[in-house]
Structure 1
Amino acid sequence: MSDKRILLIIGGGIAAYKSLLLIRELQRRGIGSRCILTSAGAEFVTPLSVSALSGERVFSQLFDLTDESDMGHIELSRSADLVVVAPATADLMAKAAQGLANDLASTTLLATDKPVLMAPAMNVRMWEHKATRRNLATLRSDGIHFVGPDEGEMACGEFGPGRMAEPVAIADAVEGLLHG
């Protein structure tokens, strides 16, 4: 698998710390990661941490002149074998389901011609909301793959489905899609 690479989109949510563990787990399996860190994701993990673990520059801004001249969002969207969104927040899922493209993450998702794997992570009430259920159905019908969410205690103290799948489970799903 050493020649396989993913593009990891890190959304905003407390589960973003697991994305750092995912990068490590994928490296252990010989899978490289290039990362997009959303502005909300940067509230939970730093670009320095993501870059240090991935060994790659971190992308975050759609209209960054350096990013666009070095690696435009179209090229970035096609530079990997698989796009992984972890955590896939309710916001990122809604943007993808509606085809919105107002930031680097959503633009990349709209521009990619690669398979996409999402690992949802959100409060149980958000996960169970009718709008999220509609977005999930739309994304599945569009061919998006999912791993999780798991059920358990949330950072907010509530219990139920909405916890991001563990990094090992996400890495297993990544390997399954890369081999598939």
Structure 2
Amino acid sequence: MSSPRILLIIGGGIAAYKSLELIRELKRREIGSRCILTKAGAEFVTPLSVSALSDEKVYADLFNLTDEAEMGHIELSRSADLIVVAPATADLMAKAATGMANDLASTTLLATDKPVLMAPAMNVRMWLHPATQRNLATLTGDGVHFIGPDEGDMACGEHGPGRMAEPGTIAGKIESLLNV
């Protein structure tokens, strides 16, 4: 029996650094990770770091001819047992809630037939904004699983709900969803 595999979508927020620790923690638990790094996510972590930790090629562009020829975005989503979005930014949540598909991450989320887990991370005001709460309700209604956000101090200096859950906690939720 092969080891379980996730597709990790790394959104653009300061919490993206935690995605590197999540990859490491999943590897320790014998769960493989293939990763999509959003353009905004690449402002916080590098493709080289993600690739080195996951031992996999990192995907970033929807219109990359080589990537589409080797592993199209439909197959990319279907090659995993679970899709994980960490950090799930307000932007990624809004795109998923409205069915937008204008980049590799949002297209993959729209094309998947696999369970999805989101770990939100954003400023407290963004998290509490009615639009984000509507998107949360829509996604929950669509069957998307959530972990967090946690409450605490944020990089912006504010305090409240919006911190991404810790990598070990996310990994535990992933194991639970994968039944491992």
TM-score by length of 2: 0.99
Q: How far apart are the structure 1 equivalents of 2:18 and 2:68?
A: 28
Deviations for 1:127-169, whole angstroms, at most 9, x for unmatched residues?
A: 0000000000000000000000000000000000000000000
Residue equivalent to 1:35: 35
Q: How far apart are the structure 1 equivalents of 2:34 and 2:94?
A: 23
Deviations for 1:51-107, whole angstroms, at most 9, x for unmatched residues?
A: 000000000000000000000000001110000000000000000000000000000
What number of residue pairs does the alignment pair up? 180
Residue equivalent to 1:122: 122
CA offset at residue 3 of structure 1?
A: 1.1
Residue equivalent to 1:133: 133
> What value does the CA root-mean-square deviation take over the aligned residues?
1.0
Q: Which ranges of structure 1 fall in alignment gaps of 5 or more residues?
A: none
Residue equivalent to 2:52: 52
Provide the secondary structure at the position in 2 that maps to 1:157.
coil
Q: In the alignment, residue 134 of structure 1 is paired with which amino acid? A: R
TM-score by length of 1: 0.99
Q: How far apart are the structure 2 equivalents of 1:174 and 1:49?
A: 22
Identity of aligned residues (%): 81
Q: How far apart are the structure 2 equivalents of 1:17 and 1:61?
A: 20
Moved over 3 A (4+): none
Q: Which ranges of structure 2 fall in alignment gaps of 5 or more residues?
A: none
Q: How far apart are the structure 1 equivalents of 2:159 and 2:170?
A: 21
Q: How far apart are the structure 2 equivalents of 1:104 and 1:61?
A: 6
